[in-house]
Amino acid sequence: MQFYAFLEAQGYADAAHDLAHIHRVVKIAKQLGAEENAVLDVVVPAACLHDCVSLPKNHPDRHLASTLAADKAIEFLTSMDYPSKYYEEIHHAIRAHSFSANVTPKSIEAKVVQDADRLDALGAIGIARCLQVSGALNRALYSLDDPFCGTREPDDEHYSIDHFYNKLFRIAQSLNTPSAQLEGIRREKRMRAFLDHLALEI
CB 161 within 8 A of CB 147: yes
CB 36 within 8 A of CB 179: yes
**DSSP letter string over 31-99?**
HHHHHTT--HHHHHHHHHHTTSS---TT-TTGGGHHHHHHHHHHHHHHHTT--GGGHHHHHHHHHHT-T
Can you count the helices (H) and strands (E) in the chain? Answer: 10, 0
Region 84-88: mean pLDDT is 96
The per-residue pLDDT for 101 is 67
- Cα torsion angle, 114, 10, 100, 79, sign: negative
CATH code of domain 122-201: 1.10.3210.50
Give the model confidence (pLDDT) of 94-103 as tens digits: 999 887 767 7
CATH code of domain 1-107: 1.10.472
Give the model confidence (pLDDT) of 107-123 as tens digits: 999 999 999 999 999 99
Q: Of residues 194 and 17, which shows the higher confidence score?
A: 194
The per-residue pLDDT for 168 is 96
Region 77-99: mean pLDDT is 93
Region 162-182: mean pLDDT is 95
The per-residue pLDDT for 121 is 96
- Please give the model's pTM, rounded to 2 decimal places: 0.88
**pLDDT at 10 > cutoff 90:** no
CB 49 within 8 A of CB 7: yes
CB 159 within 8 A of CB 142: yes
The per-residue pLDDT for 5 is 65
The Cα angle at residue 134 between residues 128 and 139, in degrees rounded to 5: 140
| C-alpha separations of 68 from 12, 20, 92, 187 in Å | 14, 21, 12, 30
**pLDDT at 63 > cutoff 70:** no
Report domain extents, the chain: 1-107, 122-201
Q: Of residues 182 and 6, which shows the higher confidence score?
A: 182
* Angle separating helix axes 178-201 and 123-136, nearest 10 degrees: 60
Give the model confidence (pLDDT) of 34-54 as tens digits: 999 999 999 999 999 998 877
